[in-house]
Amino acid sequence: MVSPMYTVYVGTFIQLPATSSPHEEHQLAITRGALWVSSADGKIKGFDWSIASESDLQTLLKRHGWVVDGRGSRTSVGVKLVRAREEENEFFFPGFIDTHIHAPQYPNTGLFGSSTLLSWLQTYTFPIEASFASPASMPSLPPPTAYRAYSQVISRTLSHGTTTASYFATIHVPATNLLASLAHKRGQRALIGRVCMDDPATCPPSLIDTSTATCLRDTEAVIQHIDSLSHPSSSEGAPKLIQPIITPRFAPSCRPTTLSALAALAAQHNPPLHIQTHISENVHECALVKQQFPDANSYADVYDRAGLLTPRTILAHAVHLSADETRLIAARRARVSHCPTSNSALGSGICPVRRLRRAGVVIGLGSDVSGGYSVSLLEGVRSACLVSRLVGFLRGQHHDKVEVVEAEADQDKKQTDGKRDENDDVVSVEEALYLATRGGAAVLDMAELIGGFDRGMAWDAQLIRLGAFQPAALWGPASPVSPVDVFGAESWTEKVHKWVWSGDDRNVRAVWVQGRLVHGVEVDDPRWSARWNWVWGLVGLGAAWVVVRRMR
């Protein structure tokens, strides 16, 4: 059977418009109509927001010479139709972009006790990462734990609508290559980073690069493996889904020479490779960096001296940056991954997202599993909203009890010329959704490719179903499919808010990456698949007739 040339998506599309200014208030762009994606490269080739009825749709199909049944002819082109059903409160939304997640830590999700960063690393994280080493007897085979953890984390992130993830793996080459292969097979867009860590003062003996040279060699081995992965099978002309990313764990676990060597390795590629690391997550970590790098002016300066602050660098956390560091990061156009679930869970603090954005820093969201307790970026969206309301509590609204941190506020006024009021720190639902889509795309330097539904972008999308209202039974044990109750009078904006605050993976009906269905049940247009029911009905009747005849 010939593949259809296009898939036409029909229904309500919701996205966050691209913006050049962090001072603008983000709004949802809500449109209804049709959008078509080429099967050749998985990219959006066009859309028509004037389609308001079934006859409009038929006119559109006729105008393009499209026939909906997956087959074309000399005079027509076969297309496939996928609908978001209005009566089920379905809509298409850009896939989420997770700019910071540790794949090997996934089995530890929810396990952190009451620890903070440094004790958490020792107690929970290093042991599980060390277990990803290949067994000595068969050094070339990835261990089964890596297979289970990696295939599960890819499956779970996809099921939550994460179409792109920037993964930290471990120091181990076979397991890291496995992660890349699995993401490639499942069709998730991913940056895969072999973790580099070589300072014996801070790294456990079971989890350490023995030298800068072995660190570089192993990193290059992973890059080579990723380069060898084929283009997505369904779309030869499409951009590659899997890319390598240079991943020094964080300053305290790397020797300065290694940091510089890794920066050089990234720079020698064309375009330069992506880089990811952590910065200023926790006050004790900051103190450690000060002690370990006495010559540096700041934590950010450690990275800058090594050449690691580039426009393709993702810095996770950025909770405790000074004004100077913020300016430095903005000047280098390095990006920040905001990980609110993690920062709350490990008690690290609150990243002042609005302040950083006003200072010109590009920000996206990260789940930071398993410092973060959920792979869901919808949970990240919620969390980004919630903690930002507590920044306000810290800074102004609580003025009659908590002293405003005057020094900070002053620095801030100098940095920005916009007005400041007590809502200045509040991240709205719309802004948080922007961070999870367009913001994340910008953080990964992929703003042209993903994060929205612009023409030419890849179809990285999720079909969200809130469901029709299912009234509770008076007696029965009601178990609605959707965790969201839409009572019927809600606007689309209100429905999106309800999704954000009450929704979960049950609402993710389907997920596509670059046009390929990677999660959920793809729904053919029911009218078209029903077309052949009468044939099966006739076959059934005939069979019954034969049986009865024979019995007589």
User: What are the residue ranges of helices labelled H in 347-481?
Assistant: 353-358, 377-392, 406-415, 429-434, 440-443
Does 398 contact a copy of itself by CB under 8 A? yes
Does 350 contact a copy of itself by CB under 8 A? yes
Question: What is the smallest separation between the CB atom of 58 and a copy of itself, expressed in angstroms?
Answer: 31
**CA 354 centroid distance within chain:** 20
Please say whether the beta carbons of 441 and 97 come within 8 A: yes
Does 477 contact a copy of itself by CB under 8 A? yes
For residues 322 and 36, give the distance between their C-alpha atoms in angstroms, rounded to a whole number. Answer: 46
Nearer to a copy of itself, 213 or 409 (CB): 409
Nearer to a copy of itself, 292 or 310 (CB): 292
Nearer to a copy of itself, 217 or 399 (CB): 399
Binding window for a copy of itself (CB under 8 A); candidates: 266-274, 420-428, 440-448, 534-542: 420-428
When binding is defined by CB under 8 A, the residue of 72, 239, 272, 392 that contacts a copy of itself is: 392
When binding is defined by CB under 8 A, the residue of 244, 307, 380, 520 that contacts a copy of itself is: 520
Note if the bond before 370 is cis, omega within 30 degrees.
yes
> Which string of b and e fits 366-382 if b means at least 16 CB within 10 Å?
bbbbbbbbbbbbbbbbb
Per CB under 8 A, contacts with a copy of itself among 305-334 are 320
Nearest Cα residue to 104 out of 194, 28, 24: 194
Nearest Cα residue to 434 out of 95, 100, 26: 26
Nearer to a copy of itself, 271 or 471 (CB): 471
Per CB under 8 A, contacts with a copy of itself among 69-108 are 106-107
Please say whether the beta carbons of 418 and 23 come within 8 A: yes
When binding is defined by CB under 8 A, the residue of 401, 414, 419, 549 that contacts a copy of itself is: 401
Binding window for a copy of itself (CB under 8 A); candidates: 1-9, 188-196, 410-418, 482-490: 482-490
Per CB under 8 A, contacts with a copy of itself among 266-305 are 283, 286-287
Question: What is the smallest separation between the CB atom of 498 and a copy of itself, expressed in angstroms?
Answer: 4
Query: What stretch of H or E contains 326?
Result: helix 323-332
When binding is defined by CB under 8 A, the residue of 40, 77, 386, 523 that contacts a copy of itself is: 386
When binding is defined by CB under 8 A, the residue of 17, 110, 311, 542 that contacts a copy of itself is: 110
Question: What is the smallest separation between the CB atom of 398 and a copy of itself, expressed in angstroms?
Answer: 6
Does 399 contact a copy of itself by CB under 8 A? yes
Binding window for a copy of itself (CB under 8 A); candidates: 179-187, 202-210, 303-311, 535-543: 179-187
CA distances from 127 to 37, 199, 205, 285 (A): 45, 17, 11, 19
Binding window for a copy of itself (CB under 8 A); candidates: 219-227, 305-313, 441-449, 490-498: 490-498
For residues 531 and 540, give the distance between their C-alpha atoms in angstroms, rounded to a whole number. Answer: 16
Does 394 contact a copy of itself by CB under 8 A? yes
Nearer to a copy of itself, 317 or 382 (CB): 382
SS3 content of the chain, % helix, strand, coil (to 5): 40, 20, 40
Per CB under 8 A, contacts with a copy of itself among 139-178 are 148-149, 151-152, 154-156, 159
Per CB under 8 A, contacts with a copy of itself among 363-382 are 373-374, 382
For residues 360 and 336, give the distance between their C-alpha atoms in angstroms, rounded to a whole number. Answer: 11
Contacts with 130 (C-beta within 8 Å, 6 or more apart), sequence order: 170, 204, 206, 207
Nearer to a copy of itself, 61 or 384 (CB): 384
Burial of 231 (0-12, 13-18, 19+ CB in 10 A): middle
Question: What is the smallest separation between the CB atom of 77 and a copy of itself, expressed in angstroms?
Answer: 28
3-state secondary structure 498-511: HHHHHCCHHHEEEE
